[in-house]
Amino acid sequence: MAALFEGSTLCALSVAQNSTESGIQGIELHGDDDHVVVTNSSRSVTVYKVSDQKPLGNWTVKQGQSITCPAVYNSKTREYVVVTDNKVIRIWTDDDINIDKTFRATVSSNVWRVHSALDQEPVVLFHTGAVRLLDALLAEPQQNVEVILREEEIIRWSTLVTSGKQQWILYVTELKGEHFIHVQNVGDSRRAAYRVEGAGFAPLSFSATPRSGNLNILSLYPDGCVYVSMVPMRLPVVAERQVLALPRTLLLRLPLAEGEGALVSASAVPLDAAHVAVVGVPHPSAGAGKDYLCIWNTNFQTLQAGKEIAGKIYGQLWCYSGKLYVPHGKALSVIPFECQKSSLAAALGKLKQSGGCESTPPFPLPLWGAAVSEEVSASGMATRRNKMTRKSQGAPTISVDQLIEQIKTGSEEEVQKGVASFLSKSDLPGLQLAVGSLARALVSRSLAEPSFYPHKVLVQLVHTQCLCHSGCPELLTLALEKKDFALCQFCLQVFPDIPEAVTCACLKVLLSTPDSELEAVTLETDSVAFVEGLSAVTAQEEKQKDGEETQQNGFTMVTVTAPPEDGSGNTRHTHQRKPKLAMSLDITRPVGLYRAVLLNEILQTPYSDTFLLPHLKDLTAPQVILFLQYLQFLYVKYYHDINTQVPALRSPTMSQIIDWVCLLVDAHFTILVMAPEAKELLAGLHSFVRAQMKLFTDLGKIEGSLQALKKAKQSRDNSQYSIEVIELF
């Protein structure tokens, strides 16, 4: 559903009594979303910050001059461009205070409009229909401009449409009651003219948007009909003065109240592919009166949102970056809106997505179970593009339901194939649901049938990043049960919502599994490299130590004997060293490489300490000591290697390590105090904390002298006497 939000007043309008003009010539975007340039029909141009409803700058031309074209902002050069008295182009910047003292150039022919798109050179459209780029025009302001329009043909409306690097100028002209649309490509100056169908009625408003290779031109007629016409972006080669016919299709018929005449001042603006905002039309359920701003869905011809607008409506409406600008009564209002793609549209395949948003993860659907179990079929959801990919694969289409049925009975290979082909259509909306139900089906079968464990399929599903713990609660437990640590790592990385109990269970399993069992596991390389890097630093340190005793940052080393090795030991990755030599700075990694990698993942999972603490108490004393030793190892490494940081995408932060140490000591303090083997560990941690505190007190001591240095610098500026040179202008 689309929605209109509470609006705010940007500025007041200076409108004469009973005037049909709003006093606003135009509103243009100012580089970013939050600033607009408002051109007053009198003589002034104002820049507003929309979120603050605050004017940031205002420029007024002299009395006697008038602004004949809305000011535009050239975001490339950060300049404003306006035309006064039809022929004088003025350019100024934010720093200029007086517009009269800024750059101006007089051109040879009357200018209709200057149009500007973001990061593009502004384009000047003359009354004669000629089009020039601003810089080319200013290079020779008095250059002759060709006459394109016929006699008495006058421009009614114009716009600039941008798609990629290309720009098109569209303008509507009127000649003897007939309307023509002229389109000109700014780059290659190809042009074409079209006759608008349906003479008789004069359209109230136009607007144009680029859409999949065409320029869609929306026009609103006084009888409440909104028509759309399409002009190809690749303009046809036509003879001079040849006018093509332009077919139009009825997009929307706005209901007009009985007895009320035709619309007088109304305007329509397309918001996205399916929504149109209309101002100055009656609300179908609110009776007479035309003081409404409505958003219509053109796909379903339904009214999505409506808002009564107080005061007179001038038939002007602009839409920039999620906000509608409506002058009404004596104020210019800014009304934010939102157009969500309605799920019905998505479900019925009416929604054509226009690139860009396909890569983002699908949005959640409100009805999880229902949406999947209902008759929503994969083929129904497929878009044209998906059909093509499917054709190229040559695989038959299967729905989620079919796939689940297949999972229940099929062999591992079949299941893998089915899922792979299903996932290739990754741009499906509602993939999250499908993946969740697939995973649930897989896990429930694996639990029921111990021989069935589709590791690859599960990894694939987790990799879609559409799965979370609550979507399939048994998955992680299953992986632990099957000792599938690779899957565990992925889950720990991907799932944002692992309960603390499960995290603790993982931890427990990891701490109790011997390193030898973990060697066969293939883990994500980046994290492995990180732990290896840490160990390499240890080796380097050892080498240095052999040569000479180096100290970094004047840090006094605290002697701690190496922690006892875990029962099974690890000969491949840890350096076996004599305990008596071991200093705190080059302690050996107490756990194996792969275990360390997995423990790091656990350290990085989100948790809440209140919930984690009771579960931590389930760990046994040896597990706690081992984990603490590992944490101490990490801490020492981090502390020591502040300048030799190992680069890694994912690594536990210092504060995560400290938090875990605190939690662990909190949970098992009594046990740790009693256990003789933990004594040295605790003493080591204690001495480390002491060393840290000493460092900080020392830093505190020199604070005074640092501040004195700062003050000394200031006082020089406050000297009693100086001889300076100033210049007056």
Partner 1 sequence: MGEFKVHRVRFFDYMPSGIRTIAFNRQTERIAVARMDGSVEIFKLSDNLFQEKVIPGKEQRGIEALCWVGERLFSAGLSGEIMEFDLHSLRPKFIIDAYGGPIWTITANPAGTHLAVGCEDGTVKLFEVLEDRIQFERNLDRKKGRVMSLSWHPSGTRIAAGMMDMIRVFDVQTGHVLHRLLVDKAVGAPRNQECVVWSVVFLSDNTVISGDSSGRVKVWDTITGTLIKNHDVTKWDVLALSLSQDETSFVAGTSEGTVVQFQFLSSVLGQEDKEWVRTRTFKNHTHDVRSVAEVESAIISGGMDTQLVVRPLLEKHEVKSQASALRTVQFPHRRLVSCAKKAQLLLFQYPSHLDLWRLGESEGEAVPGHRLPVRRNPEKLLQLKTKGEEHVCCSAVSPCGGWLAYSTSSSLRLYKLHYENNNISITKVSKLPKVLRSAQQLCFSADSTHLFAASTRSSIHMVSLSPDNCKHKHTFKPKTGSTQPIHLLTVSEDGQWLATANSDCEIHIYSLSSLKSHCTVPVYRSGVSAMAIHPTTNNLVMTHADQQVFEFSIEQKQYTNWSRKVQREGLHRKWMERDTPITNVTFNPRNPTHIILHDMYMFCVIDQSLPLPDRQSQFYNQLTLKSLPEQERQMHCHAFKVCKLFQPLLCVDMLEDDSLVVVERSLLDITAQLPAPVKQKKFAT
Question: What is the contact surface with partner 1 in residues (CB under 8 A)?
Answer: 95, 97-98, 101, 718-729
Q: Which is nearer to partner 1, 42 or 522 (CB)?
A: 42
Q: Which is nearer to partner 1, 553 or 720 (CB)?
A: 720
Tokens representing residue 564 in the block? 């006892």
Q: How far is the CB of 308 from partner 1 (least distance, A)?
A: 37
Q: How far is the CB of 102 from partner 1 (least distance, A)?
A: 11
Rounded to an integer, what is the distance from CA 619 to the centroid of its chain? 42
Query: Which candidate, 617, 709, 725, 698, places its Cα nearest to that of 665?
Result: 617
Q: Write down the residue that tokens 């509602």 correspond to.
A: 430
Q: Which is nearer to partner 1, 375 or 724 (CB)?
A: 724
Q: Which is nearer to partner 1, 245 or 725 (CB)?
A: 725
Q: How far is the CB of 728 from partner 1 (least distance, A)?
A: 5
What are the residue ranges of helices labelled H in 9-160? 134-139
Q: How far is the CB of 719 from partner 1 (least distance, A)?
A: 7
Q: Which is nearer to partner 1, 237 or 721 (CB)?
A: 721
CA distance 221 to 206: 9
Q: Which is nearer to partner 1, 63 or 392 (CB)?
A: 63
Q: How far is the CB of 61 from partner 1 (least distance, A)?
A: 13
Q: Which is nearer to partner 1, 63 or 359 (CB)?
A: 63
The answer to whether 322 and 367 are in contact (CB under 8 A) is no
Bridge-partner residues for 541, per DSSP? Answer: none
180: CB partners within 8 A, 6+ apart: 153, 172, 173, 174, 193, 194, 195, 196, 243
Bridge-partner residues for 30, per DSSP? Answer: 32
CA distance 129 to 184: 10
Q: Which is nearer to partner 1, 608 or 719 (CB)?
A: 719
Q: How far is the CB of 721 from partner 1 (least distance, A)?
A: 5
Question: Could you count the other beta carbons within 10 Å of the beta carbon of residue 473?
Answer: 16
Rounded to an integer, what is the distance from CA 90 to the centroid of its chain? 37
Q: How far is the CB of 95 from partner 1 (least distance, A)?
A: 8
Q: How far is the CB of 586 from partner 1 (least distance, A)?
A: 48
Longest dimension (CA), the chain: 104
Query: Which candidate, 539, 643, 530, places its Cα nearest to that of 587?
Result: 539
CA distance 265 to 317: 11
Q: How far is the CB of 492 from partner 1 (least distance, A)?
A: 44
Q: Which is nearer to partner 1, 520 or 726 (CB)?
A: 726
The crossing angle, in degrees rounded to 10, of helices 455-463 and 474-481 is: 140
DSSP label of 313? B
Rounded to an integer, what is the distance from CA 538 to the centroid of its chain? 42
Angstrom CA distances, 481 to 273, 377, 395, 629, 667, stand at: 50, 35, 35, 26, 26
Query: Which candidate, 706, 620, 701, 707, places its Cα nearest to that of 667?
Result: 620
Q: How far is the CB of 89 from partner 1 (least distance, A)?
A: 19
Question: Could you count the other beta carbons within 10 Å of the beta carbon of residue 329?
Answer: 19
Q: Which is nearer to partner 1, 188 or 727 (CB)?
A: 727
Q: Which is nearer to partner 1, 95 or 188 (CB)?
A: 95
Angstrom CA distances, 551 to 543, 556, 585, 640, 699, stand at: 14, 8, 10, 10, 19
Q: How far is the CB of 99 from partner 1 (least distance, A)?
A: 12
